[in-house]
Amino acid sequence: MKFFAIRIQPDVRENQADRYTEFPTLDEYKHIWNSGQKRQDGFHECVNFKNFNGKIEGYIPPNGVSIPANEKIAFIFLTNKANKKESKKYNLFDTIIGIQVGCHLTSQPCPRKDVPTELQKYLKKNASPLEYHYTTSYKNSILLENPIENASELIFPKSIYKSTWSMYPGSVREINNDSILFEVLSRIDYSISRRSPLYQKWKRIKNSFHLNLLRTFSEIEDIEYEEVANILHENKLSDFDFSSSIKKYPIPKKRSILSYNRDPNIVAGALLRAKGVCQGCFQEAPFERSSDGSLYLEVHHIKPLSEGGADSFDNVCALCPNCHKLLHLGKKDNRYNEIMKNIKEMLAKCKIGN
Ligand SMILES: [Zn+2]
Ligand SMILES: [Zn+2]
């Protein structure tokens, strides 16, 4: 499957252009998403497409890239950061808002006369001809609940590409760098909560990539629990088959995990600042490290690096393992709130200058 990043286009149908800014903002986009007929059919207006007979049909702008006619393709959709004014200041199309996979080109190019009449009548007289025509099913279409920011830098990092996307002509670009693709998909994976109704859909979709994408946490991993949870939910102690676990040795498996380089100075500073006491529950560090006898605490990023959080002193705290795991994996209960409150108070004090 080939992957393309595609910039959302202004709405040219249904004479609704004045309802949205030239490049829809997230809120506008949500409105667009929810305005589909009968059910949410995704990206219909922005990329000038709509749900016809249960299938999503789209027209994507032709310039900038050639899309294979007989290959399944995936589109990763981007819109601008907040609003038009702001997007000028930063970079256009800076937020990943959704993904559609298994898209199939039905004509290439698609002459104006092939545009379904239902759609054609909405096209403005002087709208530019839409050439690429594709379909995918609703079940392969996802609008992210937590859009991914700084997408331009993610997809076209300055370290690799000389020009930014905003300098590049065209609305579609292939993501043909494997490590970038892996990172983009991992970020999408990370952004979809396991508890979300979207997750089953996404799980099926990501299996189709044949990529070993792992849901990762920047600081704590709990990557196997999902399988464990399934087994737990399907079994009772009384009928669990313990005899099946004859000695088995795991086969080593190389896995790629998306991780972030944390600045060791930030980690060290956060540990120094904590003076061996958990900043979530005020308990002393549970043990000393064997390596150097220092008090063991874990440095936690309040806004995760994977969600665009900064690796800076005002975004970190030092926690005991219990508090740390609770923040990452626990229920948002009273204890959770208490820990968060303590951390926020600590950070506020640091700001004043202690
Ligand atoms: Zn603690
Ligand atoms: Zn953490």
* Distance from residue 322's CA to the centre of ligand 1 (Å): 6
Point out the ligand nearest to the CA of residue 330: 2
Same domain, 197 and 280: no
* Distance from residue 323's CA to the centre of ligand 2 (Å): 9
> Counting every residue, how long is the chain?
354
Percent of the chain with pLDDT over 90: 17
* Distance from residue 184's CA to the centre of ligand 2 (Å): 21
pLDDT confidence of residue 104: 72
Same domain, 197 and 313: no
Per-residue pLDDT at 182 exceeds 50: yes
* Distance from residue 30's CA to the centre of ligand 2 (Å): 30
Point out the ligand nearest to the CA of residue 325: 2
Q: What is the pLDDT of residues 21-60, one digit of tens each?
A: 444 455 655 555 555 443 333 344 334 344 444 344 455 5
- Average pLDDT, integer, range 314-328: 93
Residue 181 lies in a domain: yes
Which of 162, 179, 208 delimits the end of a domain?
Answer: 208
Q: 2: closest CA among 143, 98, 100?
A: 100
pLDDT band for position 214 (50/70/90)?
low
Which of 186, 208, 230 delimits the end of a domain?
Answer: 208
* Distance from residue 49's CA to the centre of ligand 2 (Å): 41
Which of 185, 208, 231 delimits the end of a domain?
Answer: 208
Please, are residues 219 and 321 in contact by the beta-carbon 8 Å criterion? no
DSSP string over 23-60: S--HHHHHHHHHTSSSS---STTTTT-EEETTEEEEEE
Point out the ligand nearest to the CA of residue 274: 1
* Distance from residue 323's CA to the centre of ligand 1 (Å): 4
Q: What is the pLDDT of residues 104-139, one digit of tens each?
A: 765 544 444 545 554 455 444 434 444 455 667 777
How far is it, in rounded angstroms, from Cα 69 to Cα 132? Answer: 10
Q: 23: closest CA among 108, 106, 91, 83?
A: 83
Per-residue pLDDT at 221 exceeds 60: no
Task: For the chain, report the end-to-end CA distance as a whole number of angstroms.
Answer: 54
pLDDT confidence of residue 212: 58
Residue 248 lies in a domain: no
Residue 320 lies in a domain: yes
Point out the ligand nearest to the CA of residue 338: 1
* Distance from residue 135's CA to the centre of ligand 1 (Å): 51
Same domain, 125 and 39: yes
Point out the ligand nearest to the CA of residue 220: 2
* Distance from residue 132's CA to the centre of ligand 2 (Å): 45
* Distance from residue 311's CA to the centre of ligand 1 (Å): 21
Domain span at residue 293 reads 264-349
Residue 249 lies in a domain: no
Q: What is the pLDDT of residues 83-94, one digit of tens each?
A: 445 545 444 457
Same domain, 33 and 130: yes
Q: 28: closest CA among 16, 39, 13, 41?
A: 16
pLDDT confidence of residue 190: 82
pLDDT: is 345 or 125 the higher one? 345
* Distance from residue 219's CA to the centre of ligand 2 (Å): 5
Residue 253 lies in a domain: no
Same domain, 33 and 171: yes
- Average pLDDT, integer, range 240-267: 69
* Distance from residue 295's CA to the centre of ligand 1 (Å): 13
Point out the ligand nearest to the CA of residue 319: 1
Give strand pairing partners of 105. 134
- Average pLDDT, integer, range 2-16: 60
pLDDT confidence of residue 213: 58
Please, are residues 328 and 222 in contact by the beta-carbon 8 Å criterion? yes
CATH of residue 275's domain is 1.10.30
Q: What is the largest CA-CA distance in the chain?
A: 76
How far is it, in rounded angstroms, from Cα 60 to Cα 120? Answer: 15
- Average pLDDT, integer, range 63-80: 70
Point out the ligand nearest to the CA of residue 222: 2
Please, are residues 192 and 199 in contact by the beta-carbon 8 Å criterion? yes
Q: 350: closest CA among 280, 267, 273, 265?
A: 273
Residue 221 lies in a domain: no
Point out the ligand nearest to the CA of residue 277: 1
What total number of domains does the chain contain?
Answer: 2
* Distance from residue 290's CA to the centre of ligand 1 (Å): 20
Amino acid at the residue 190: Y
Give strand pairing partners of 7. 78
pLDDT confidence of residue 336: 96
Same domain, 157 and 302: no
| Pick from 2-11, 57-66, 222-231, 316-325: least confident | 57-66
Same domain, 84 and 203: yes
pLDDT confidence of residue 323: 96
Q: Indicate yes or no: pTM above 0.75.
A: no
Same domain, 184 and 278: no
Point out the ligand nearest to the CA of residue 298: 2
Residue 29 lies in a domain: yes
Same domain, 48 and 141: yes
Same domain, 133 and 65: yes
Residue 222 lies in a domain: no
pLDDT: is 48 or 330 the higher one? 330
Q: Is the dihedral of CA 98, 100, 106, 108 positive or negative?
A: positive
Per-residue pLDDT at 349 exceeds 80: yes
Q: Give the residue carrying structure tokens 């549970």.
A: 286
Same domain, 162 and 309: no
Amino acid at the residue 53: N
How far is it, in rounded angstroms, from Cα 11 to Cα 21? Answer: 9
pLDDT confidence of residue 164: 60
- Average pLDDT, integer, range 324-353: 91
- Average pLDDT, integer, range 234-246: 79
pLDDT band for position 317 (50/70/90)?
very high
Same domain, 144 and 12: yes
